[in-house]
Structure 1
Amino acid sequence: MTNSASESQALKRIFTTQAVILGGLVAVMWGLEILDIGMGGRLDYLGIWPRQSRGLTGILVAPLLHGGFRHLISNTFPFLVLGWLIMAADLGEWVVVSAVAGLVSGLGTWIFGSNGVHIGASGVIFGYFGFLLARAFFERTMGSFLVAFIVLAMFGGMIWGILPIRVGISWEGHLFGLVGGIAAAWLIGWIKKKTN
């Protein structure tokens, strides 16, 4: 097998892995939403209930739950695109960013969130958004600046989601997700400096 053929096979395996992970998570979200509709919306109660002990499990579960198909559809595209932009550079970084953004978003929402249940992947999505922008600041490479520019062009309007201007939108989850993504960019940049 030639070098180009083996490189092509390796790229195909990497892309397949990325597609399985991101596609699998989206399939879980859609499957849970179908199940939730069949259960009369009872799964949504597993989300984040601010400052209530029952809401702590929601920190882990809430990103997989959505308030109907409209909510889920609005989160699916940015989750796939922004998640893939991180994963394409490094699968390990995607894992770290997802974990940090999800945890910071969830904890921030649990501590500071308004009353009622908070659900949806948007906290993680805002983490991806924050990471991709902050990575350009910390790395200062042409590639990271180019990705940040593309992200701003495609998703720049998301930034309004961190403001408390729309009823029924968890701006707290968005804000703390963004903070988590920026924190993940700093953490990964710091680790890279220490190991180089």
Structure 2
Amino acid sequence: MVIDKPNGSDAAKETLAGRAKGGLLFMGGFVILLYGIEFLNTFLAHRLNADFGLRPRNVAGILDIATFPLLHANFNHLLSNTLPLTIFGFLAFLSGFRVFITALAFSWLGSGLTVWLIGEGGVTVGASGLVFGLFAFLLVRGFFNRSWWQILLSVVLFLAYGSILFGVLPTVMGYVSWQAHLGGAVGGIIAAVLLRPKGHSYRRA
């Protein structure tokens, strides 16, 4: 009995399809979690924001770096983050779970640390730092990877969403945390640098 083995092209297609399915499931589940938290937060008159939102330079609340992206000021705030977060997260997931989780983690940590270090008072909540981090990661990774299709994707994303990069600039609008945006973007770029292909160097004997 002869069993046909899939060739390299078929295996690559199966891998990409599996990653696409995983990306949809993961991002779908994450978005559902965000909406579930917001429903609960609304029911509690947004008391969760006061307890788990991020306050700059508050030593006792530094662990809130882990929770503040999961909270939002209201449903309009969450809605504004939903589509770009889903798109950017899905596209990052196509490169594999390790790549995605690294980009997400550095975006999360970069956003939180920047707010904690140079934020301007009040409580910061929202997933926009993750949006900026994943976006920045997708924009630059192709140049580090020397991948033409990733560079092409970055051009398309820049044309479609490039205007959001103004969100990393200091703003007079007190309700917008440019620090979260900037820190998330820096975290995404760091992730792209760390995930770049490593070259091999050899010494001659």
How do residues 39-118 of structure 1 correspond to structure 2 at under 5 angstroms? 39-45=44-50, 46-118=52-124
1:31 to 1:109, Cα distance in 2 relative to 1, 3 A: same
Q: In the aligned structure 2, how far is the partner of 1:37 from the partner of 1:195?
A: 53
What is the letter of the counterpart of residue 35 of structure 1? L
Q: Secondary structure at the residue paired with 1:76?
A: helix
- Structure 2 equivalent of residue 185 of structure 1: 192
RMSD: 2.0
Q: In the aligned structure 2, how far is the partner of 1:150 from the partner of 1:130?
A: 13
1:115 to 1:193, Cα distance in 2 relative to 1, 3 A: same
- Structure 1 equivalent of residue 43 of structure 2: 38
Q: Paired residues, what number?
A: 193
What's the CA shift string for 1:151-184, capped at 9, x where partnerless?
1011101111011222200100000111111111
How do residues 124-163 of structure 1 correspond to structure 2 at under 5 angstroms? 124-163=130-169
Could you list the runs of 5+ residues in structure 2 that have no partner in the other structure? Answer: none
Give the helix-richer structure, 1 or 2.
1
> 8 Å contact 2:107–2:187 — kept in the other structure?
yes
1:100 to 1:195, Cα distance in 2 relative to 1, 3 A: farther
Deviates more, 1:167-176 or 1:129-138: 129-138
* Residue of 29, 51, 63 corresponding to 1:24: 29
Q: Could you say which structure has the larger radius of gyration?
A: 2
What is the letter of the counterpart of residue 46 of structure 2? G
What's the CA shift string for 1:48-68, capped at 9, x where partnerless?
110012431221111111110
Q: Secondary structure at the residue paired with 1:51?
A: coil
> 8 Å contact 2:20–2:93 — kept in the other structure?
no
> 8 Å contact 2:16–2:94 — kept in the other structure?
no
What is the letter of the counterpart of residue 70 of structure 1? N
**Sequence identity, in percent?**
35
Instruction: With the length of structure 2 as denominator, give the TM-score of the two structures.
Output: 0.87
Q: In the aligned structure 2, how far is the partner of 1:77 from the partner of 1:23?
A: 11
> 8 Å contact 2:141–2:192 — kept in the other structure?
yes
Q: In the aligned structure 1, how far is the partner of 2:168 from the partner of 2:19?
A: 34
> 8 Å contact 1:105–1:175 — kept in the other structure?
yes
> 8 Å contact 1:101–1:123 — kept in the other structure?
yes
Q: In the aligned structure 1, how far is the partner of 2:143 from the partner of 2:15?
A: 30
> 8 Å contact 1:83–1:94 — kept in the other structure?
yes
1:36 to 1:195, Cα distance in 2 relative to 1, 3 A: farther
Could you list the runs of 5+ residues in structure 1 that have no partner in the other structure? Answer: none
1:93 to 1:195, Cα distance in 2 relative to 1, 3 A: farther
